[in-house]
Amino acid sequence: MRLRVSFADGAYGPGDLDPVLVENLGEVFGPELPNWRGAYMLVRCVTPVAFRGSLLELLIVAPRYSGVTLPSLRSDGGIAGVARVLPGSVLAAVQHFRPESVEDFAVASVTPEEV
């Protein structure tokens, strides 16, 4: 399944990136710490994008607002919080990730993409 991620401007996103087509790799799980949720969607940029001297390749996506779930985000789209997986970090679906493996990145609009 593919999704289009369109980043917000200003304080909520980089503002200088075009929308990115991503492929859903499955769910990963955040750390068991306050202010972290259980499951996140791990996605890979179909074409990695240059950003501040490195490539955006893997992103972690989570619903931004209550009432939106990962399944509804995948099927209907919506607003999501996006974190980038930092260079050198390796993640695969059904794994837990550590806070230092990711960086809050943007608020984005996620739209299902017909293939």
Q: Read off the pLDDT band of 12 (50, 70, 90).
A: low
pLDDT tens string 87-99: 888 777 768 888 8
In residues, how long is the chain? 115
pLDDT tens string 32-58: 888 888 899 999 999 999 888 888 999
Helix or strand (DSSP H, E) at 76: helix 70-76
Cα(51)–Cα(48) distance, integer angstroms:
9
Cα(5)–Cα(63) distance, integer angstroms:
13
pTM of the model: 0.89
Q: What is the mean pLDDT of residues 68-88?
A: 93
